[in-house]
Amino acid sequence: MDTHTEKIQWQETWTEQLKQACPKAQVLTDQAELTVYENDGLGFHRYLPDCVIIVSHADEIASILKVAKNCGFPYTVRGAGTSLSGGPVALEGGLIIHLSRLNKVLEIKPDDMYCVVEPGLVLNRLNTYLKEYGLFYPPDPSSGFASTLGGNVAENAGGIRCFRYGVTANYVLGMEVIQQDGQLVRFGGPSAQGGSAGTFHWNSLMVGSEGTLGIITKIWLKLKPIPEKVWTFLAEYKDLQSCTKVINELVHMPTPPVAIEFIDNAVVQLVENSNMAVGIDKKSWVILTEIDGPAPLVDCRVEQVKQILQSYNAIKVSAEDDDEKRLKLWKARKVAGGLMGQLSPGLMIQDAVIPRAHLQEVLQYIYDLGDELDIPVLNVFHAGDGNLHPNFLFDDRVPEEMKNIKTLSNKLIAKVIELGGTLSGEHGLGNDKSCYLDQIFSAEEIDFQMSLLRALNINDQMNPGKIIPQRSFVGCCAPHKHERKA
């Protein structure tokens, strides 16, 4: 029997068992249906799964994992697929467990300021529910209109407000997780807001684990009161240097801004030539920043922020407290990535963190590299915490351009590490940046992390090949490695 026939029979055996174990779930095996799941938001890391199961209830997951154990196939958990590091793709084939139907708000406790949600709930929908209680969930990645809270927890997503309010890890009070053996365990809960049970802080381990340590089925999240007043400022400058100096001034304010966003001239032109235009000078570079809090305190800070923004030869500084006008500015910033997708067949969004003192140096380095390799570079990112998101435009059908993208990424990461930065601020490593791990950690440190992973993930059956590149389930039970689609 040839390998292809063997693999088909193997796949048919366990997909039939999945249908019997989870009769209410939707099991997809047609190649046209599976193609939808071959990549995430990154786009060009494509791996076709053998099967996708769309679960209808969390209780079905334990049955799925029992089939996986008995039949020996790898599996990967997926939410909305908006991630940007190749995390929720089937690198070694097998099964994708799709949690999008687990999308309920299970409980809102306004007095204690927490809520309980399922992992498939879209972030912006949660804030819609919370508005009537005068509360909100602060993390706000630009994909918040589509990304799920389970995915945000898995990647430790940040977003525009992360400079003041923090990232996802700062808001996870607890979670329920189904382990590889099908056992449901609970880590933390609402009481985790201010104390410790005297045990290991499992929440910290699970947040950012990218689906390698268990399947999250329920999440307790800390909430905040909606600020009474918000001011949003847009400042236009003639060059990169002016922007980086202003960023340094803003981060040193005694009461820090909520957000400090950098938008380069290429992105400004892109926005202003679209139907999202907000009237920015097309020759300018932009800083978008925001303050919030009690109305009297926020109003008295407006002039101080304006003075800082004007101090480095600003072309124009505007301030808005009208919600409709403010949200239009933020929408223009958040849709920039989608607009870039119209410029070229491929788009690589990198994600690294650098000490802010090196911001201008690294940005100029990226632009120079892009010019040298003939790769357009556009920058829009969370400048307050040094979280870079350079965007590289290319055509993944052209081998030379793919080679140049890899060269550009390799040199950027090397520069980031040289200056004391790190690999990811919020997108995770997935299988896109796992190859750089040995530039951060020694072999002994990687072995230590592997031992921890394999204590909870026997044979790397859960989401193999991610974070640490040595992780592979193939060779243990599965017939052969699932080849990457050309």
Using CA atoms, how far residue 369 sits from 151, 409, 438, in Å, is 32, 10, 23
Q: What whole-number percentage of the chain has pLDDT above 70?
A: 95
Mean pLDDT value across residues 308-334: 95
Same domain for 17 and 93, yes or no, is: yes
CA atoms within 13 A on the CB side of 337: 19
Mean pLDDT value across residues 177-195: 87
- The verdict on residue 473 lying in a domain is no
Mean pLDDT value across residues 242-252: 96
- The verdict on residue 465 lying in a domain is no
Per-residue pLDDT, 194? 57
pLDDT of 257 > 60? The answer is yes
Same domain for 255 and 299, yes or no, is: yes
pLDDT of 479 > 90? The answer is no
Q: What is the pLDDT of residues 423-451, one digit of tens each?
A: 999 999 999 999 999 999 999 999 999 99
Same domain for 304 and 243, yes or no, is: yes
Separation between Cα atoms, residue 85 and residue 174, nearest integer Å: 25
Global pTM reads 0.94
Helix (H, G, I), strand (E, B) or coil at 347: strand
Same domain for 353 and 290, yes or no, is: no
- The verdict on residue 466 lying in a domain is no
Same domain for 210 and 125, yes or no, is: yes
pLDDT band at 44 (very low <50, low <70, confident <90, very high): confident
Mean pLDDT value across residues 316-335: 95
Separation between Cα atoms, residue 469 and residue 89, nearest integer Å: 14
CATH classification of the domain holding 67: 3.30.43.10
**What is the largest distance, in Å, between two alpha-carbon atoms of the chain?**
78
CB 154 within 8 A of CB 142: no
- The verdict on residue 293 lying in a domain is yes
Mean pLDDT value across residues 470-482: 67
Q: What is the pLDDT of residues 342-377, one digit of tens each?
A: 899 889 999 999 999 999 999 999 999 999 999 999
Q: What is the pLDDT of residues 135-168, one digit of tens each?
A: 999 999 999 999 999 999 999 999 999 999 999 9
Mutual angle of helices 240-251 and 359-373, in 10-degree steps? 150
Query: Strands 26-28 and 224-225, how do they pair?
Result: unpaired
Amino acid occupying residue 100: S
CATH classification of the domain holding 356: 3.30.70.2740
CATH classification of the domain holding 267: 3.30.70.2190
Separation between Cα atoms, residue 203 and residue 173, nearest integer Å: 7
Separation between Cα atoms, residue 366 and residue 1, nearest integer Å: 52
Q: How many CB atoms lie within 10 A of CB 194?
A: 5
The pair of structure tokens assigned to 134 is: 């005068």
The pair of structure tokens assigned to 463 is: 């989401």
Per-residue pLDDT, 477? 56
- The verdict on residue 354 lying in a domain is yes
Same domain for 220 and 123, yes or no, is: yes
Per-residue pLDDT, 310? 96
Per-residue pLDDT, 483? 43
Contacts (Cβ under 8 Å, ≥6 apart) of 39: 45, 46, 47, 81, 86, 89
The pair of structure tokens assigned to 54 is: 């769309």
Separation between Cα atoms, residue 80 and residue 122, nearest integer Å: 8
Amino acid occupying residue 267: V
Mean pLDDT value across residues 301-326: 96
Separation between Cα atoms, residue 77 and residue 54, nearest integer Å: 10
Which domain does 433 fall in, by range? 344-437
Same domain for 163 and 206, yes or no, is: yes
- The verdict on residue 486 lying in a domain is no
Burial of 111 (0-12, 13-18, 19+ CB in 10 A): exposed
Q: What is the average pLDDT score of the chain?
A: 93
Same domain for 431 and 360, yes or no, is: yes
pLDDT band at 484 (very low <50, low <70, confident <90, very high): very low
Helix (H, G, I), strand (E, B) or coil at 93: coil
pLDDT band at 197 (very low <50, low <70, confident <90, very high): low
Contacts (Cβ under 8 Å, ≥6 apart) of 301: 231, 255, 291
- The verdict on residue 467 lying in a domain is no
Of 185, 206, 225, which one is at a domain's C-terminal end? 225
Same domain for 348 and 332, yes or no, is: no
Number of domains in the chain: 4
